[in-house]
Each structure stands twice: as structure tokens, then as C-alpha cells.
Amino acid sequence: MRLDLEDYEVRDADRVLTPALAIYPSIVDANIEATLRLAGGDPNRWRPHIKTAKLAFVMRRLIHHGVDAFKCSTTLELRSACEAGARDVLVAYPMVGPAARRVIELAGEYPDVSISALVENELQAASWRGSRIGMFIDVNPGMDRTGIAQQRLEDIVRLARSLEAQYRGLHYYDGHVHAEDLQERQTAAWRGYDQLLAIVSALRKSGIDTREVITSGTPPFPAALQYPGFANGGFVHQVSPGTIVYSDFTSMGQLPEEYGYRPAALVIATVVSHPAPGIATCDAGHKSVSADAGAPTCIVAGRPGLTALKPSEEHLPLRAAEKSDLPAIGERLYLVPRHVCPTVNNFDEALIIERGRIAGLERVTARGHESPLVGARATVG
């Protein structure tokens, strides 16, 4: 992957205390528009997971393009989406106990937002009964992270029937479908969607109407948009990739170049040391650029001769292929994360870069979590 430095270089970067998160709104907009093209121009086909976007500033850009239904994983993300103007938010994470009570509390604070939750058993469902929270049954497509196994048709039908009017539909996150070969990926995804439609059919035969079906993170979402069964299934189908709002070097390798996605969130770092021949160290360790996907944690825009090595907390060493590739101490580097979602979560604020200059500073609104105390959260004892 080759990235032009001129697309990312900040002319007034001498003002920046690094490491710093930089977001490029024009590229964010282009990535949103690319997704809507793939969705046939219909914003209602896309319910992005905002664990990536994180900023109310970016959520509002999605809403401006007509994308106003979201997924989230935390109560802080839920609150941020509601504050940004979301119409509909699914808490796509199993919420129990105080977390469920906080979701209900937020639903009361934002009565104009349609809020729903995932359930896979009666215990979870009991948390939402009597509230205005809608419920999606979380179906496990074989990823074995959450959900009720897709083979358990009778159990799914029984659970849906018990939800009564609060039942909204099915959630089916096939995140394990990420084969490098696109045709192989589509074949695997479509095989799963055939099973998903069998669940919809079983529910229908039991007199239960499934109004909505939500599938697909970044790798399989193009296959989901092209699956014929979703076009005429008698329900609203949405895909839910979030990474593509910013893109990263992993997702760029997973999606065809002709889709037009480009990285829109980078980390600006400074070279601080030459500890060994051919090695330069910059100030973007794994507390800045997430290492959860392994090394290399990033690539350097405009510098193909540099390879990121294993980071420590504050240090990121880079190996130069040639002596001429070695950056000088004090030089600014522009890092494209391997996994952008947790990288954004590492920062309190983001620089907004327009036309090569700093246009502003925006808070990473949904970073971290809310206070751990529910109810009278500011007091103890």
C-alpha cells in the first residue's frame, strides 16, 4: 500500500505536541460517500458501529449524509450518539445488571431516540421488559463470541415469542468471515446468510414478524449488500461496518482498491532517537497506536522504506531499508494504524486537518467509559 505524504502532511505541525491523533474530514466524507455508493445510495442500509468513529464531530457528519442509525458497545457511546442527533441506536453488546439499568436511564433522557439491545436468553430479556427498549436476538453465526447458536431454531423462536412487541429483529455479526480471497469470503458469507434466512422463515411460520436484520462488519459487508435474499426478504436489512469511516491499513487490504477507501485518521509522531544503525524511534508506542492486532502496528505515510517494529508503551522503533530512508531526529511522521478503532480510543482530543492545516480540535467524545456508579453516580456512601 502506497500513501502520498502530501495528502496528510500538516504544514503547521510545529504547533503539535506529539503523539497526536489527526482526522481529515474531507477523507471521512469520501469514505462515507464510498459506502453509500456500495449501498445503492440508501443510507438506511448502513448502521455503522461507532466504536470507531468515537467523535460526536464525526457522528454528525454521518448524520449529515443521512446515516442516522448506529450500533455501539458502551453506555458512553450510546449517550454520545444520542447527543449527536442519532435517530436509532442498537447497543450491540450484552448488557446486564447496572449496565442495563443505565441504558434504560438514557432511554428516558432521550425519548426521541429509538434504543434497542441484544438478547440471547430469558435472563437478558427480563432486564428490558416493561421498558421502551426494543430487543434484537443476537444470533451466533459461528464466531462464538456472543449470541445463541444459529442451529438452535426452536430456542430462537421461543425467545422471540416471549419478547412480544419489543421484538425488533435479528443481529448476526459474522466477524469471523474475512478470507483474503474475495470470492471465498463471499461464498462463506452467503452460506451463513442462507442459514439466517432459514431462521427468519422459521419465525414467520410461527407467526412472528422479523422487521429488521443486521449483519456484517467490514470484511463481509460487500457480500451482504450483494446477497439476493436480503433484497427481497420482507425486512429491512442493514450492514454495520464502522472501521471504514476512517479506514486503516488492515481494512484497505481487505477491500478492493476501486471502492475508494483511504485512511482518514492518522497519528502524528516525532522521531526522538537513533538507538542503533538503521533504527529510528518515534514517540508512538502502544499507548498511542494500538498493538492489539500485533506488529507492525502501523505503516508510515509516504515512507515505504520504514517498517514499524514491536512497540513498547511510549516507544515505536522503525527499521530503515536504506540509509537514505532513516528519518532525522525531530522529524514528523504520519502513521496509519493497523487497527484504527482502539487507536482513536487512546486519545482525548483529535486535531481536525483541512487543506493541510489545523482547522480545530475536537474531543474524542465516546472514549473510555462512563462513571462506574449508576444512579447517583457522583456520590459514594
As a whole number, mean pLDDT of residues 143-166 equals: 97
Which pLDDT score is estimated for 22? 98
279, burial (CB in 10 Å: exposed 0-12, middle 13-18, buried 19+): middle
> For 163-256, where are the E strands, in sequence order?
167-172, 212-215, 236-239
C-alpha pair distances (Å), 258 with each of 43, 66, 223, 234, 252: 20, 23, 15, 31, 10
pLDDT at 380 > cutoff 80 = no
Q: Which pLDDT score is estimated for 231? A: 92
Q: How confident is the model at residue 150 (pLDDT cuts 50, 70, 90)?
A: very high
Work out the burial of residue 206: count CB atoms within 10 Å of its CB; fewer than 13 is exposed, 13-18 middle, 19 or more buried. Answer: middle
Cα–Cα dist 322/366, whole Å:
41
Identify the architecture of domain 5-21+259-363 in CATH: Beta Barrel (2.40)
In sequence order, what are the residues at sequence separation of 6 or more whose Cβ sits closer than 8 angstroms to the Cβ of residue 336? Answer: 3, 248, 249, 263, 266, 298, 299, 300, 301
Write down the pLDDT at residue 375.
64
Q: How far apart are CA 92 and CA 111, in angstroms?
A: 19
CB atoms within 10 A of CB 4: 10
Cell of 174: 459474522
Does 3.10.450.100 match the CATH number of domain 25-248?
Answer: no
Tell me the C-alpha to C-alpha distance, in Å, between residue 91 and each of 41, 69, 79, 106: 25, 11, 11, 12
Looking at the predicted structure, is the pLDDT value of residue 379 above 70? no
203 touches 210 (CB < 8 A): yes
Report whether 189 contacts 220 (CB < 8 A). Answer: yes
Q: From residue 114, how far is each of 82, 110, 121, 135, 226 by CA, in Å?
A: 10, 9, 22, 11, 28
* Percent residues over pLDDT 70 in the chain: 97
Residue 105 pLDDT exceeds 70: yes
pLDDT tens for 261-277 read 999 999 999 999 999 99
- What are the φ/ψ torsions at residue 168 (nearest 5 degrees)? -110, -35
Stretch(es) of the chain classified as CATH 3.20.20.10 = 25-248
pLDDT at site 50:
98
User: Which residue's C-alpha cell is 450492514?
Assistant: 239
309 touches 303 (CB < 8 A): no
Strands (E), the chain: 20-23, 69-72, 88-91, 114-119, 134-140, 148-149, 167-172, 212-215, 236-239, 265-276, 279-282, 298-300, 306-308, 316-320, 332-337, 349-354, 357-363
pTM: 0.96
Q: Which pLDDT tens digit goes with each residue over 223-253?
A: 999 999 999 899 999 999 999 999 999 999 9
Cα–Cα–Cα angle for 358, 34, 364, nearest 5°?
40
pLDDT at 378 over 70: no
Average pLDDT over residues 307-322: 98
| pLDDT recorded at residue 3 | 87
Please determine, for residue 19, whether its predicted confidence score (pLDDT) is greater than 80.
yes
Q: In the Cβ-directed half-sphere of 221, how many Cα atoms lie within 13 Å?
A: 28
In this predicted structure, the answer to whether residue 381 has a pLDDT above a threshold of 50 is no
Provide the mean pLDDT of the chain: 96
The predicted structure's pLDDT at residue 93: 97
Q: Provide the residue count of the chain.
A: 381
How does residue 373 score in pLDDT terms, banded at 50, 70 and 90?
Answer: confident
3-state SS, residue 359:
strand
- Which of these, 350, 341, 335, 326, lies nearest to 269 by C-alpha position? 335
Residue 167 φ then ψ, to 5°: -70, 125
For residue 201, CA distances in Å to 134, 147, 162, 337, 359 come to 21, 19, 18, 42, 52
Whole-angstrom Cα distance, residue 272 to residue 260? 34
In tens, the pLDDT along 327-339 reads: 999 999 999 999 9
Q: State the burial class of residue 356 (Cβ atoms within 10 Å of its Cβ: 0-12, 13-18, 19+).
A: middle
Domain limits, CATH 2.40.37.20, in the chain: 5-21+259-363
Q: CB neighbours of 197 closer than 8 A, spacing ≥ 6?
A: 229, 233
